[in-house]
């Protein structure tokens, strides 16, 4: 069970870590880790590309590279992002050591202790962790089915101006939702003439399950006709492998210039070894067929998961069916605490992450995140059954 | 000339960068970049190891890993560091994204704006850059032939207590010197009972050219019988390839615990892809023969460089012959400015880095760093000749 310790790492919650220690069984079914499936990585393709690679390029892979990234990869990525309507000619692109480093760099550039940063709730734990590291004051705005609650946001913005507003519009981690186009445009309108950086985290952009969802994935930055300062981040983690530690940041020249200097002081450059491989992967046309394959695979898992949830979960549990990405976000009846459920289900052999973990205010007690990405398809039904039984048991006890 | 842009990146001096732009000739001989030789990387070995690797391990390479590092690599590295007398049982080891990230993490952990950090002068520009990023107040102590000037250090320590003292005891970048054992012990004695972190950067430990130098490379941390808090950093950059972006930090459990949390917020984990390969490289016994080979190669370059310097440089120019590492550190007569020399030599086809770049106070005008690591052996004589001619021309003009 080599993924178990990784799962623990990526939950980033000491509470859950303690629970995990209780589970010594190696056959635990984990809906916990928000990571790609180990069996879906393009191992054979990368091996083939590495073998066929030009010897000079191989040497380059071992050497230092320029701080903003391996130039051919920057070029390939620029053309790729252009197809998404992103402003690659007026803005500057930088390769980062995972997209989390991009968030970190932006934090170093803009956040002083006590500064206000706004996030969605729930939000990505890695993002929350960065903002907390820089001692930001975090206010969070609830998510609705089609994106951030604009009225709640407007109410706060009437009184306060955050340095950064951090959003994940596509196949949200953990909420699984996608922003409607209307809401993207209204959000830009709302931020107009305000001195707020909109940090758009688009790690799941490619993982749509149908054409309708695909049409909705156009980044907010690509829709921006206002003066809003959008910083866009993306990642190779979900479309190639997190082990490459490669992400990117697209930002205005002003933000980019400082970001580059900061990155130089953090790690000098991102790994050239994996940058060279990522470039081969894009350049030789392997990305698109690979995406086609993993979209189907995650789509199948989503379907199996939805079927199992419908079969086993009591009707009081609510969720939206995700149209892409890795996550189901389940709402338990008010007053219930998902922690009690995971305590029970982990003993029976299934684990997930409680909603509280994804809430900057550590509330949201009655939510659960179930990731279907990194598990065998044949485990899904059994795993959901276990968790549903824990839910029912809890409901019997506390009702 | 694929290394030119990289060289420019690694000089990190806008002044030199501007000079570089003047040099449009592609046949420039560069003594500037402090990086390993492109032609010496173990490309064939890594390719072979990757092909033979266990399929499950290959999948692991694509996935997230634990924040402190890929466990088998941590184990292998621990055994390796044990052979150097380092306290791997009482202290904790963490893999970092290059050793520069380790310095950066320590900066985040300990430096508040205005805090005093002490360095050697000259010192590694990457280290200086990190301390400046965290707005440290930097005081630097001159280096002597056998290490830091202890009297000058003692004088400062009588008045002030820095948070960190940053030293590079082995085959110093840029000064090329190695600390004597006596000076290492006296330094520990001097820091005893003072609340100062000794940050020991040992990136060049393995690159000794003879047994006498080898015997001197024992890390200060390994000699520490006092209560001095030593944090030890090392790197795969010089013993495998900088493109792997892998370094490490060995620190007390207290420092390690916070460092781990900080690293989680910076990039979550270092690249598993290159960690898995680095582990294979160590595990399968490839490291020692590779080190044997590169020591010989750099030794030969050192000899060619020393011969050329003796042949061409006027007697007013002084230097120590490095017993390991990558660098000659040349002292020009007082009052001379190395910038004038590089301006001239770059037009004639040879470039190096001026000493000022390595001085936190940006003084040291009459020094030059000549790296012999990343060039063809047959370029050394010609390159040194060009620079020596520029020195002589300058001496004629200004004397």
- For chain A, what are the domain ranges? 3-41+289-394, 63-283
Rounded to a whole number, what is the distance in Å from the CA of B130 to chain A's nearest CA?
A: 5
Q: B250 near B113, Cβ under 8 Å?
A: no
Per-residue pLDDT at B1:
24
Q: What is the pLDDT of residue A378?
A: 94
> Residue B249 has which token pair?
């930090």
Q: CB-based contact (8 Å) between B264 and chain A?
A: yes
**Contact status of A54 with chain B (Cβ, < 8 Å):** no
Would you tell me how many other CB atoms lie within 10 Å of the CB of residue B46?
24
Q: Which two tokens stand for residue B236?
A: 């795969």
Cβ B371 vs Cβ B31: under 8 Å: yes
Instruction: Pick the residue of A240, A268, A290 with the most B CBs within 10 A to test the interface with B by mutation.
Output: A268
Tokens at A121, concatenated: 């709730």
pLDDT tens string, chain A, 399 residues long: the values are: 222 233 333 444 455 555 555 444 467 999 998 899 999 999 999 999 999 999 999 999 999 999 999 999 999 999 999 999 999 999 999 999 999 999 999 999 999 999 999 999 999 999 999 999 899 999 999 999 999 999 999 999 999 999 999 999 999 999 999 999 999 999 999 999 999 999 999 999 999 999 999 999 999 999 999 999 999 999 999 999 999 999 999 999 999 999 999 998 889 999 999 999 999 999 999 999 999 999 999 999 999 999 999 999 999 999 999 999 999 999 999 999 999 999 999 999 999 999 999 999 888 899 999 999 998 999 999 999 999 999 999 998 876
Residue of A92, A138, A93, A79 lying closest to A114 (CA atoms): A138
Question: B109-136: b or e for each residue (b if 16 or more CB lie within 10 Å)?
Answer: bbbeeebbbbbbbbbbbbbbbbbebbeb
| DSSP β-ladder status, A247-251 and B197-201 | unpaired
Q: What is the DSSP letter of B86?
A: -
Task: Enumerate residues 6+ apart whose C-beta is below 8 A from A86.
Answer: A219, A221, A222, A232, A250
Q: Mutation target for B interface from A245, A257, A281: give the one with most B CBs within 10 A.
A: A245
Collect all residues of chain A within an 8 Å Cβ-Cβ radius of residue B50.
47, 50
- As a whole number of Å, the end-to-end CA separation of chain B is 37
- Report percent pLDDT > 70 for chain A: 93
| In the predicted structure, residue B10 carries a pLDDT above the cut 70 | no
- Measured between its terminal Cα atoms, the distance across chain A in Å is 37
Check residue A18 and give its pLDDT.
52
| Second CATH level (architecture) for the domain A3-41+289-394 | Alpha-Beta Complex (3.90)
Nearest-angstrom CA–CA distance, A42 and A174: 25
Taking each helix axis as running N to C, give the angle between helix B125-133 and helix A253-267, from 0 to 180 degrees, rounded to the nearest 10.
120
Strands (E) located in B239-282 = 247-251
Mean pLDDT throughout B218-245?
Answer: 97
Mean pLDDT of B223-247: 97
Contact A266 B5 (CB under 8 A): no
Q: Do domains A3-41+289-394 and A63-283 have the same CATH topology?
A: no
Beta carbons within 10 angstroms of residue B39's beta carbon: 11
Torsional sign, CA A343, A348, A349, A355 = negative
Q: Is B38 on the interface with A (CB under 8 A)?
A: yes
Written as six digits, the tokens of A396 are 């019997």
pLDDT band at B122 (very low <50, low <70, confident <90, very high): very high
Chain A neighbors of B241, CB-CB under 8 A? 61-63, 273
CB nearest to B9's CB, from A67, A273, A277: A67
Residue A248 has phi, psi (to 5 degrees) of -155, 165
CB A207, CB A326: distance < 8 Å? yes
Nearest to residue B107, comparing CAs of B237, B249, B8? B249
Alpha helices in chain A (DSSP H): 3-11, 14-22, 43-52, 55-62, 71-82, 99-110, 125-133, 150-159, 181-191, 211-216, 220-223, 253-267, 272-283, 287-312, 338-348, 377-398
Using DSSP, how many helices (H) and how many strands (E) does chain A show?
A: 16, 13
Question: What residues contact B261, with CB distance under 8 A and at least 6 apart?
Answer: none
**A-B interface: how many C-beta pairs under 8 angstroms?**
199
Model confidence pLDDT, tens digit, residues B313-366: 999 999 999 999 999 999 999 999 999 999 999 999 999 999 999 999 888 899
Name the token pair of B202.
Answer: 């040992």
Of B83, B69, B91, B106, give the one whose Cα is nearest residue B251.
Answer: B91
Whether B33 shows a pLDDT value over 50: the answer reads yes
Inform me whether the C-beta atom of residue A241 falls under 8 Å from chain B C-beta atoms.
Answer: yes
- Judged against a pLDDT cut of 50, whether residue B23 lies above it is answered with no
Give CA–CA dist A251/A253, Å, rounded: 6
Range B194-217 average pLDDT: 98
**Nearest by Cα to B262 from A266, A247, A133, A246:** A133
CB contacts, 8 Å: B276 with chain A? 243
A210 at B interface, C-beta within 8 A: no
> Inter-chain contact B245–A97, Cβ cutoff 8 Å?
yes
**Per-residue pLDDT, A312:** 98
Provide the phi-psi class of A352: left if phi over 0, else alpha when psi is between -120 and 50, else beta: beta
Residue from B118, B28, B19, B22 nearest B353 by CA: B19
User: Do you know the residue count of chain B?
Assistant: 399
Judge: A41–B62 Cβ closer than 8 Å, yes or no: yes
**Interface check B121 vs A, CB under 8 A:** no
Decide if A233 touches B, using CB distance below 8 A: no
B257 interfacial to chain A (CB closer than 8 Å):
no
Class of domain B3-41+289-398 as given by CATH: alpha beta
Contact present, A129 and B260 (Cβ < 8 Å): no
Topology of domain B63-283, CATH:
3.40.640
Q: B247 — contact with chain A (CB < 8 Å)?
A: no
A99 near A200, Cβ under 8 Å?
no
Q: How far is A310 from chain B (nearest CA, A)?
A: 31
Helix or strand run (H / E) with residue B353: strand B353-354
DSSP, residue by residue, B125-184: HHHHHHHHHTT-EEEEEEEETTEE-HHHHHHHHHH---SEEEE--SS-TTT-----HHHH
Which candidate from B33, B35, B245 shows the least CB-CB separation from A270?
Answer: B245
Rounded (10°) CA dihedral A92, A93, A99, A103:
-20
Query: A169 Cβ partners below 8 Å, 6+ apart?
Result: A147, A178, A179, A184, A200, A202, A219, A220
Q: What is the pLDDT of residues B272-313, one digit of tens each?
A: 999 999 999 999 999 999 999 999 999 999 999 999 999 999
The B residues from 65 to 84 touching A (CB cutoff 8 Å) are 65-67, 71
Contact B104 A63 (CB under 8 A): no
State whether B268 and A58 contact (CB < 8 Å). Answer: no
pLDDT for residue B4: 29
Q: CB-CB: which of B50, B129, B243 is closest to A272?
A: B243
Mutate to test the interface with A, among B133, B268, B274, B376 (most CBs of A within 10 A): B268
pLDDT of A12 reads 45
Question: For residues B130 and B115, what is the distance between their CA atoms, to the nearest angstrom?
Answer: 13
The reply to whether residue A38 touches residue B60, judged by beta carbons under 8 angstroms, is: yes
Q: Count Cβ atoms below 10 Å from residue A223 Cβ, excluding itself.
A: 15
For testing contact with chain B, the best of A266, A277, A371, A374 (most B CBs within 10 A): A266
In this model, does residue B22 exceed pLDDT 50? Answer: no
How many degrees, rounded to 5, is the angle at CA B358 between CA B242 and CA B30? Answer: 55
DSSP string, A341-393: HHHHHHHHTEE-EEGGGG-TTS--TTEEEEE-SSS-HHHHHHHHHHHHHHHHH
C-alpha span between A246 and A256 (Å, rounded): 17
A265–chain B Cβ distance below 8 A for any pair:
yes
Q: How far is B39 from chain A (nearest CA, A)?
A: 7
Rounded to whole angstroms, how far apart are CA atoms A321 and A209?
A: 11
Asked if the Cβ–Cβ distance from B59 to A51 is below 8 Å, we say no
Contacts of B277 in chain A (CB under 8 A): 273
3-state secondary structure of B330: strand
Could you read off the pLDDT of A164-174 as tens digits, one per residue?
A: 999 999 999 99
A10: contact with B, CB 8 A cutoff: yes
Least Cα distance to A7 among A27, A35, A26, A28 occurs for A35
Residue B275: Cβ within 10 Å count: 28
| CB-CB under 8 Å, A36 with B63 | yes
**Yes or no, beta carbons of A269 and B50 under 8 Å apart:** no
Is-contact A80 A282, C-beta < 8 A? Answer: yes
Tokens representing B115 are 């805090």
Distance in angstroms (rounded) separating the CA atoms of residues A314 and A303:
18
Question: A311-315, B24-28, B100-104: which range is least confident on average?
Answer: B24-28
Chain A residues touching residue B245 (CB < 8 angstroms):
97, 245, 267, 269-273
> Locate tokens 């924040």: which residue?
B67
pLDDT at B26: 63
CB–CB of B6 and A64 under 8 A? Answer: yes
Give the nearest partner residue to A64 out of B50, B97, B243, using CB atoms.
B243
Residue B66 with chain A: CB contacts under 8 Å: 5-6, 9
Give B204's DSSP letter: T
Q: Running DSSP on this structure, what letter comes out for residue B67?
A: T
Residue B197's pLDDT band, with cuts at 50, 70 and 90, is very high
Q: How many Cα atoms within 13 Å fall on the side-chain side of residue B175? A: 22
Query: In terms of Cα–Cα distance, which of B212, B350, B240, B374 is closest to B298?
Result: B374
Q: Which residues 161-190 in chain A show a CB within 8 A of chain B?
A: none
Distance CA A266, CA A170 (A): 29
Other C-beta atoms lying within 10 Å of the C-beta of residue A397 = 9
Inter-chain touch B2–A60, beta carbons under 8 Å: yes
pTM over 0.90: yes
At residue B295, the pLDDT reads 98
Report ipTM for this prediction: 0.92
Q: Under DSSP, is residue B307 helix (H, G, I), strand (E, B) or coil?
A: helix
Among A93, A87, A7, A3, which residue's Cα sits nearest to residue A275? A93
């Amino acid at each position: 069970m080599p993924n178990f310790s990784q799962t623990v790492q990526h939950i980033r919650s000491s509470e859950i870590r303690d629970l995990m220690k209780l589970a010594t069984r190696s056959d635990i079914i984990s809906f916990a880790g928000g990571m790609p499936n180990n069996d879906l990585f393009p191992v054979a393709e990368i091996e083939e590309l590495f073998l066929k690679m030009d010897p000079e390029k191989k040497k380059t892979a071992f050497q230092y590279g320029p701080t903003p990234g391996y130039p051919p990869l920057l070029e390939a990525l620029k053309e790729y992002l252009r197809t998404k309507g992103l402003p690659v000619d007026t803005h500057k692109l930088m390769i980062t050591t995972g997209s989390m480093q991009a968030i970190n760099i932006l934090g170093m550039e803009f956040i002083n202790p006590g500064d206000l940063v706004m996030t969605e709730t729930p939000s990505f734990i890695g993002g929350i962790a960065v903002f907390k590291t820089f001692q930001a004051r975090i206010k969070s705005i609830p998510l609705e089915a089609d994106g951030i609650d604009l009225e709640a946001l407007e109410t706060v913005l009437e009184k306060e101006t955050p340095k950064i507003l951090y959003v994940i519009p596509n196949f949200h981690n953990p909420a699984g939702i996608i922003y409607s186009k209307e809401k993207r445009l209204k959000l830009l309108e709302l931020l107009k003439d305000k001195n707020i950086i909109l940090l758009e985290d688009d790690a799941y952009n490619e993982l749509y399950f149908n054409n309708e969802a695909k049409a909705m994935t156009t980044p907010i930055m690509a829709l921006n006709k206002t003066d809003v300062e959008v910083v866009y981040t993306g990642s190779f983690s979900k479309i190639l492998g997190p082990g490459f530690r490669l992400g990117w940041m697209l930002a205005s020249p002003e933000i980019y210039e400082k970001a580059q200097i900061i990155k130089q002081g953090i790690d000098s450059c991102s790994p050239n070894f994996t940058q060279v491989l990522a470039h081969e992967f894009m350049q030789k046309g392997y990305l698109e067929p690979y995406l086609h394959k993993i979209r189907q695979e995650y789509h199948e898992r989503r379907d199996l998961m939805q079927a199992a949830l419908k079969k086993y979960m009591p009707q009081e549990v609510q969720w939206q069916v995700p149209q892409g990405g890795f996550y189901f976000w389940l709402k338990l009846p008010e007053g219930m605490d998902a922690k009690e459920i995971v305590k029970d289900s982990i003993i029976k052999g299934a684990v997930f992450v409680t909603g509280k973990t994804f809430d900057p205010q550590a509330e949201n007690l009655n939510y659960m995140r179930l990731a279907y990405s990194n598990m065998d398809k044949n485990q899904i039904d059994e795993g959901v059954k276990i968790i549903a039984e824990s839910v029912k048991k809890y409901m019997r006890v506390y009702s």
